[in-house]
């Protein structure tokens, strides 16, 4: 295995590193350089791999993410989306109801089995 493959395995075993990159606090290049210089077992990783800190902030971060999303919602766009979805549902519902009524309004009357066409 190459050093890059070893680094990928290290990241898979320590998914906390992904959150630092997603938040923009660090880059993959910087993490790879640290890995290349110090390896896996150095104290440099303690501040990035501290799992207790991750657990304590995880619950509050999801609530804060939901609140942040609620702040960024545009009520008019949300209402327009709901309205268009409701129109689409009504349209499809109307088509389905029309198909069901067309099938039941058939003028077909079955011919008795004991009669022939000539009778």
Closest CA to 19 of 66, 71, 56, 58: 58
- Rounded to an integer, what distance in angstroms lies between the CA atom of residue 39 and that of residue 36? 6
Q: Over 90: is that where the pLDDT of 86 sits? A: yes
Decide: 28 and 34 in contact? Cβ < 8 Å: no
Q: Over 80: is that where the pLDDT of 19 sits? A: yes
- Rounded to an integer, what distance in angstroms lies between the CA atom of residue 82 and that of residue 78? 6
Provide the 8-state DSSP code for 39: -
- How many CA atoms are closer than 13 Å to the CA of 65, on its beta-carbon side? 7
pTM: 0.42
């Amino acid at each position: 295995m190459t050093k890059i493959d070893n680094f990928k395995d290290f990241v898979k075993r320590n998914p906390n590193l992904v959150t630092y990159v997603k938040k923009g606090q660090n880059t993959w290049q910087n993490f790879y350089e640290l890995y290349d210089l110090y390896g896996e077992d150095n104290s440099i990783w303690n501040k990035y791999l501290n799992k207790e800190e991750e657990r304590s902030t995880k619950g509050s971060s999801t609530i804060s993410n939901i609140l942040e999303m609620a702040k960024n919602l545009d009520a008019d766009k949300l209402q327009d989306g709901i309205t268009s979805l409701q129109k689409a549902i009504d349209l499809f519902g109307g088509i389905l109801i029309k198909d069901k009524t067309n099938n039941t309004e058939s003028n077909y009357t079955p011919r008795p089995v004991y009669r022939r066409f000539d009778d």
